[in-house]
Amino acid sequence: MQDIKHEVYLRIYNLLDDKSVKIVEDTPLLGNDSSLDSMKLVELCIELEDLAGEIGFEFDWTSEAAMSKSRSMFRNAGSLATEFINQMDASK
């Protein structure tokens, strides 16, 4: 699980313009404190789709359920990694 979490964090980091930012559990992904703009967030979702494909499941960031809890899902790096892992586990 730590490996997957690290992979999610790495993909967030790769999209940052400011490479001095350290990705930790509560690194914000939304709002004024986020280092990612909305378009980068979409790019991140696509990256995570690809990562999920490599692992063998489908990461769904477009369902009504995902959208309705999107603010919590994208609240920070930790919540996004948790959602990713939950979807991976649910697919087993």
Residues that bind other proteins (CB under 8 A): 39, 42-43, 45-46, 49-50, 53, 58, 62-64
Q: How far apart are CA 31 and CA 25, in angstroms?
A: 16
Closest contact distance (angstroms) between CB of 46 and other proteins is: 5
Tokens 């790096």 found at: 77
Residue with smaller CB distance to other proteins, 17 or 64: 64
Closest contact distance (angstroms) between CB of 87 and other proteins is: 14
Closest contact distance (angstroms) between CB of 22 and other proteins is: 26
